[in-house]
Structure 1
């Protein structure tokens, strides 16, 4: 048996119920893992509210770390006793023990502790595919300006540090002076408090009127229109979330009028659809974290039974860095 968080219907944090579930043996291509820590992400809110629709009842959560207890037929990259961490479909990480597909589960290097492993996989792999695999025409080179919204969040703080390693001039936005200070301390070249300043005007000022090559946006509705105006001609608008709500429909013609812009909507799970891609991306993440060049900041820890409060704080934008559930 395992304690697990499940929803019977979509809605607010009160729908998150702690229940006991039976956990069986892993089948072909599966493992059973006993979690040490569980990561919290905004996609969990989308699953809970139904913005991203999934069959109910649903056990939620997308990342965790722990010890492999058993492996099913065909699993060769993991064995019982291995330290492991993952960002993975299907949801279900808010629990003590689970059986799950092995494909996107990676061995966790000894240099990285379980809390860090749980806090870094989904957010760190997201930062990796954004900065290294989601690039504008001609790619990104040292000295290039990029705009990153929600720069003090879990993905944002990793991206600030990684962008600095790559030599990029990351302009980070956040909703308070404290969050801006945090992004700056983690490597953002410039920060903008969008609660006080017009980020479009500040971006133009910072870049000498040129704009940025790419905007990385997990906020959605509230930042979309001005973000397009921050781009250079042929620039790339990379959407990867909807924290303020989904982007409303727009006429493609405006992309031409604003400089023949590119728009893409990215998801991590397209990038980690194969074992080879997952491992390659994870290896880069493990290397940059183990080296100390990118530090995973865990600012909130909640016991599993306080998962409702964790979701309330996440939605109220009270959190910074990464958040984990402890077991």
Structure 2
């Protein structure tokens, strides 16, 4: 190999380790951000107080940026365990694309930007809720709970449940039973959603020292937890139908969706590992698949009710 060839190889190798826009964007966890943006938008739209569309756009942008800041701070803190686990080893920091200090700087900068701009554009409560959400995910969940308790995903789920409450606060300047129930809907959905996945996916959390429930207590206990949290989830989801943002369309569809979800959780609870392995965890995979659309459908139904209310078609 000639000296020129060696130089070219070294140059190309260096290029593969250079961070591009996609690497920095990946720090923000865009897939998680999509759910955050959608639920925050619903919280904003269904609120009884209207706001200027531009202010609404700025508010949703701030919430999205705040969610991305949380993701960057999480990746900075979890860089050590991300490098151990197969599903996270290609993230920008363990892949050597982005330096941990860069992720920390981006996370802190975006956190400050999103909170301050939301305060200037809307109100103090909305900004305070966004700041607490970022703090909760980055510090309480990532730095403390994730490596300390098998209930990490339960308590940590609160971070993903705040966006519709923030959206509601943007419009109204306060909180209410409606925003609290939207929060509770996401909070109660999170454990059965993630634990259904954990039942059939071989995770390497144990190798990384993360005490996920399936690793610390086994699959039978995890099945019990899925059923219990589903029992709490169903009345929360149906309860939203009887509030000012609900209605007969939401309630009828939510009844079917939650009957289906509970049926799936019940079937999972009845099974043992031998039966699950025999059919390659078909029931667990089915429950996880329907959980993927569960939140989007419920929050989409709230948008439908908001449209009907604006047309004066509400019977509540």
Between Structure 1 and Structure 2, which shows a larger proportion of strand residues? 1
TM-score, length of structure 1 as denominator length: 0.26
Between Structure 1 and Structure 2, which shows a larger proportion of helix residues? 2
Structure with higher Rg: it is 2
